[in-house]
Structure 1
Amino acid sequence: MKKNLLIFSTLIKVLLFPAYHSTDFEVHRNWLAITHSLPVEQWYHENTSEWTLDYPPFFAWFEWALSQFAPIADNEMLKVTNLDYASNETIYYQRTTVIASELVLFYALLKYLSVKNDTIHKIVVLSIFLNPGFFIVDHIHFQYNGFLFGILILSIVLIHQKNDLASGIVFAMLLNFKHIYLYLAPAYFVYLLRAYCFEKVTNDCSKFSLARFATLGASVAGVFAISFGPFLLLDPIGQLSQILSRLFPFTRGLCHAYWAPNFWALYSFMDRVLIFCAKRLGVHLNEEAVSSVTRGLVGDTNFAILPNISPRITFFTTIAFQIPSLVRLWKQPNYENFLVSLILCGFASFLFGWHVHEKAILLVLIPFSLIVGNRKEYFDIFLILSVAGLYSLFPLLFHWQESVIKLLLYIIWLFFVGFGLSSE
């Protein structure tokens, strides 16, 4: 089954090579060029393209590693000034790197099967590896989410195996590949603090271990030191401030250019409805606010009727909705409660976070897949969330040529998961 799964999925992905690709394709081509052609100290300063490097250092080194093989396909892709360059060789090379990087996800799922090897979890593994979200976002739209979720699942498997310290180290590595996984960090922080840093004395009593806390802290700090170290050695203050300004661009609007289906999208929509009503009633409104719509790159959204929302408000709202699951996790730091808290932390961040991308729904759906077989209630919620969440990715592919592909992937996957899991 394992070999057939890999061959089958690879064939489908290769057939998608000629499909539409988004601006994210040019983003990653530009990052290949930056990391290959420029010295390290310029990576986070280069701005010839509007698609500047804005992922953490481990991902920059990942792009550097991929760029070492790029000349075999087409050396022109590695020129920083070759904006929007997309030769067939470049397209095939970059799409091949996505498929190759997904071997990390495949390996992680095999490790998961080594601890959960019954029929229902085999179906779960199939549903994750063949999730239409990965096909849409990675293999057509163009990103590397499969690779990153592979690292996340490895970290989760390590927690299931009670190897908490290793899990924390792997998750710290993930944060240094892509900082969106900070959405899930509260669940990791609470679990590792409670389960690893408190040693059991009796069944009802545990004692805080300063040695374990120091070991965990030093391990995580060590990962960040390896990640940021090469940049900080060059210019400690200048490089750090520049990297952080790229990673956390709070000048971007509340909502992404394409609204993620979350609370702030409803909030923005309600403001538009109230504008319409106010105009009908002859109420004078600020024209700048009326003409302000969500902006994907720069500028905050100004609301005409409802109060404006700041990053601070979204931060505290998100934390408030994460707290209940974190409290339960603190009281009962077991594997299932950790996964539930991980899912709810991701969901709260998706619903209330600042400038949330529609693709962030995968941060909820992929971890949710791992517990869907535990209870019927989980399965019912997961199916509803998958129907809505995957459908919300459809506008990413707006050409008619991809319409049949995304619909077929969506319907077949929902039928397979719905029938397969409900029958177990």
Structure 2
Amino acid sequence: MAVSSESCSWFVLLAAGVSLFKCLFINSYHSTDFEVHRNWLAVTHSLPVSTWYHENTSEWTLDYPPLFAWFEFGLSKVAQHFDQNMLLVENLNYASPSTVLFQRLSVIFTDCVFIYAVRECCRCVQEQKGPRDILDRPSFVLAVLLLWNFGLFIVDHIHFQYNGFLFGFLLLSVAKHLQARHLQGALLFAVLLNLKHIFLYVAPAYGVFLLRSYCFTQDNNDGSIRWRSFSPVRLLVLGSIVTSVFALSFGPFVVMGQLPQVLTRLFPFKRGLCHAYWAPNVWALYNVLDKVLVLLGVRLKLLQEAELPQASMTGGLVQEFQHSVLPSISPSVTLVCTLLSILPAVASIWWRPTGGRGFLRCLLLCALGSFMFGWHVHEKAILLAIVPLSILAVENREDAGTFLLLSTTGHYSLFPLLFTPAELPIKVCVMLMFTVFCFSALRKLHSGPLLHPLEVVYLLGLLGVAVACEGVVPLSPWKHRLPFLPLLVTSVYCSLGVCCSFLRLYASLLRCRDKPKQL
């Protein structure tokens, strides 16, 4: 159902409010990602295109797809009016007040794409019947869940990245598919893949859904496929759109003979199984199990510590390592595990298409499956599931419960990104406000509790983890002896919640009784 024109005023107020709120944090702490993007501004502005993916003066080399490099190039044309020195490649770790101001404002300004995408998603929400106050409408709740998302706020506007801009393309693409405008959705997703390749996580959902729901023009009443309904013309049109975007993006580098170099930057498989800061996934649990088995084996004199390979999993470096007791995991193993984890979801939208929301559910399972089993997964990738899940959360009671579990757990897992004392009260207060709104608004929207008692107990356990990791350990002698302990505890505890959310989503997919729909 479309959002009525009277809702325009409250949406504008929400969007303006969140933008002004972000401006308050221009001078807050920023991570090494700030220098990463400053360096990319300098590289794309000061050097010819032929050297972009070869330049290595900084350790933070360009490793995003070509369209994002051109995005940085465009930003650099504005940046030169703030401070020319930020565009010098040799000015490593340069962060003048003008540079900080420009880069912070660039994130806030490009969030306009995200704001527009949220507006489009709100138009797709199925409003509940009967007169309701604006604050109780699903479209209003969705707007708040997305515009004021805690994870996007701390990752982009304190830690520093451009995820809002990128998620704007994702949500716009999802909205187009919900509106059955499949070619527009495919175009937007192709652009997104050429801005940041992490969105390959959800590419299987797009590929199968578009082939099934756009390239097949008819279905039997039972949803089975008749190959005579396959439209080669539609497939050709769809393929032309996607290949055109990739040709525009990678074409110049193919002509220059630099495609292998670009791909090497995009897919650095020589990095280890886990990122320096463990993502809360299956491999975090696997790593800890390996450590526990080593301790037990040595204690019971079943293993000789001197003969064990030294596993380096928590030292804070991006590197390869081997497990001490359990079999070491290779990229091919993670690929197989990921494919197996998403196969039922992808098969579901092929054999039992249920429209745009079935596609969205498959997208979420692909995102979570890749997050849980992927190679060298970054902790921030959890937002790829949390953000789009907001759409289902305002419409479906079971999805609302999954959202509460995943968003609370996933957002808390991002806490170690902000480790300076000044940011402690900020991240605690902002997350509390966002979480309280999520629980109260969704509970009211769906009229009752949304979580099982055991899940409530688990989420309350996060308070104990927070006190231990943010208060007790930093003030204890363990701070220097075991500096990785807070990261380990946070990742392992949050892994349990992410795994449970993944299982909940699959359970809802299996229980789905929607009749097959023709789009």
Fold shared per TM-score above 0.5: yes
Q: Which residue is equivalent to 1:234?
A: 256
Contact 1:295/1:301, CA 8 A, preserved across alignment: no
- Structure 2 matches for 1:258-273, cutoff 5 A? 258-273=277-292
Task: Tell me the distance in 2 between the aligned counterparts of 1:292 and 1:303.
Answer: 8
Check if 1:406 corresponds to 2:402: no
TM-align CA RMSD: 1.5
Q: Deviations over 1:164-215 (max 9, x none)?
A: 1121111011000000000001110110010011111664565111111111
Q: Deviations over 1:248-305 (max 9, x none)?
A: 0000010000001100011011111112122223322466732522576653121010
Identify which of 57, 69, 76 aligns with 1:60. Answer: 69
Q: Deviations over 1:31-72 (max 9, x none)?
A: 000000000010000000110000000100000000001111
Task: Tell me the distance in 1 between the aligned counterparts of 2:319 and 2:12.
Answer: 48
- Structure 2 matches for 1:98-117, cutoff 5 A? 98-116=107-125
Identify which of 380, 383, 402 aligns with 1:362. Answer: 383
Contact 1:314/1:353, CA 8 A, preserved across alignment: yes
Q: CA deviation at 1:219?
A: 1.2
- Structure 2 matches for 1:278-293, cutoff 5 A? 278-282=297-301, 283-285=303-305, 289-293=309-313
Contact 1:252/1:297, CA 8 A, preserved across alignment: no
Task: Tell me the distance in 2 between the aligned counterparts of 1:345 and 1:117.
Answer: 24
TM-score, normalised with respect to structure 1: 0.96
Contact 1:141/1:396, CA 8 A, preserved across alignment: yes
Identify which of 6, 24, 27 aligns with 2:15. Answer: 6
Q: Which residue is equivalent to 1:122?
A: 140
Task: Tell me the distance in 2 between the aligned counterparts of 1:254 and 1:227.
Answer: 29
TM-score, normalised with respect to structure 2: 0.79
Q: Which residue is equivalent to 2:166?
A: 148
Task: Tell me the distance in 1 between the aligned counterparts of 2:206 and 2:343.
Answer: 13
| 3-state secondary structure, aligned to 2:218 | strand
Identify which of 350, 368, 372 aligns with 1:330. Answer: 350
Task: Tell me the distance in 1 between the aligned counterparts of 2:82 and 2:376.
Answer: 36
Q: Which residue is equivalent to 1:315?
A: 335
| 3-state secondary structure, aligned to 2:320 | coil
Task: Tell me the distance in 1 between the aligned counterparts of 2:307 and 2:89.
Answer: 40
Check if 1:176 corresponds to 2:197: no
Q: Which residue is equivalent to 1:225?
A: 247
Check if 1:133 corresponds to 2:151: yes
Check if 1:16 corresponds to 2:9: no
| 3-state secondary structure, aligned to 1:200 | coil
The count of aligned residue pairs is 421
Task: Tell me the distance in 2 between the aligned counterparts of 1:313 and 1:166.
Answer: 35
Identify which of 170, 174, 186 aligns with 2:204. Answer: 186
Distance 1:357 1:295, change over 3 A: farther
Rg (Cα) greater in structure: 2
Task: Tell me the distance in 2 between the aligned counterparts of 1:102 and 1:20.
Answer: 20
Task: Tell me the distance in 1 between the aligned counterparts of 2:60 and 2:51.
Answer: 15
> Which has the higher mean CA deviation after the structures are superposed, 328-337 or 144-153?
328-337
Q: Which residue is equivalent to 1:45?
A: 54
Task: Tell me the distance in 2 between the aligned counterparts of 1:411 and 1:231.
Answer: 46
Q: Which residue is equivalent to 1:79?
A: 88
Identify which of 334, 341, 353 aligns with 2:374. Answer: 353
Identity across the alignment (%): 50
The residue type equivalent to 1:173 in the other structure is: V
Check if 1:256 corresponds to 2:275: yes
